[in-house]
Amino acid sequence: MTLARNLEIAESAISNISKLGIISSNKIAHRIKASGGIQNVIGTDQGMRTGILGVAGINIQTLRGMTPAGLRQMAGRAALSKSGNCGELAMVAAIHMIDTGGTPVHLMWFTTPGYDHMWATIGVHPAWQADNLRSWGAEAVWVDPWQTDDGIAFSIEDFVAGKVRNLNAIYNCNTKELVEAGGIQGVVVG
């Protein structure tokens, strides 16, 4: 597929998450929204939390060997509960991209001291190397519904060129070099 088509599918996946009303319990703005506004949160030490809903967060190490049915089941739980963090949102996005005809679709993650993160990709070259984003190919798109308030999709080439940044500098993985050093892992899911 072309980069333009992959970006279109990626943006559709992010828009779908917004339409489903899925929010992240580890994002302050989403917790305030789920609690009915700031007036219901100030001084109460409350807000929606994934644990309160009985939604188990994804352990990124369990993805290897997960069946397509298992992935759909986990994504479905996040959509039904309208709650999830980066892993659950990435799964919902991945399923949407697969259902929209996107290929190949990966779930990717990296870990840095004190932080880990998961996202989806579309169009990554089959011979990609975790420590070399340039090897991911000209059609590769990073699809991260957790980033910003509404999610983000960008071409890997733009990220490598410094035209876009990943996450925020406080996460210590906002540049190509920091992401490559974070030990990226990934699995093809579609």
The per-residue pLDDT for 94 is 95
Residues with Cβ within 8 Å of 84's Cβ and at least 6 positions away in sequence, in order, are: 22, 24, 50, 55, 57, 78, 91, 92
The dotted CATH code for 3-20+55-188 is 3.10.620
Tens digits of residue pLDDT in 70-91: 888 888 888 888 878 888 899 9
DSSP state, residue 140: -
Average pLDDT of the chain is: 79
- CB 151 within 8 Å of CB 145: yes
Tens digits of residue pLDDT in 18-47: 888 887 765 555 555 555 655 555 554 444
DSSP state, residue 105: E
DSSP state, residue 17: H
Closest CA to 124 of 105, 111, 107: 105
Sheet holding 152-155, edge to edge: 152-155, 141-144, 115-122, 105-112, 185-188
- d(CA 59, CA 157) in angstroms, rounded, equals 29
- d(CA 90, CA 109) in angstroms, rounded, equals 10
**Structural domain boundaries in the chain:** 3-20+55-188
| Number of other residues whose CB lies within 10 A of the CB of residue 130 | 16
Q: Averaged over 154-177, what is the pLDDT?
A: 79
- d(CA 145, CA 36) in angstroms, rounded, equals 22
Tens digits of residue pLDDT in 90-145: 999 999 999 999 899 999 988 777 777 889 999 999 999 988 999 999 999 999 99
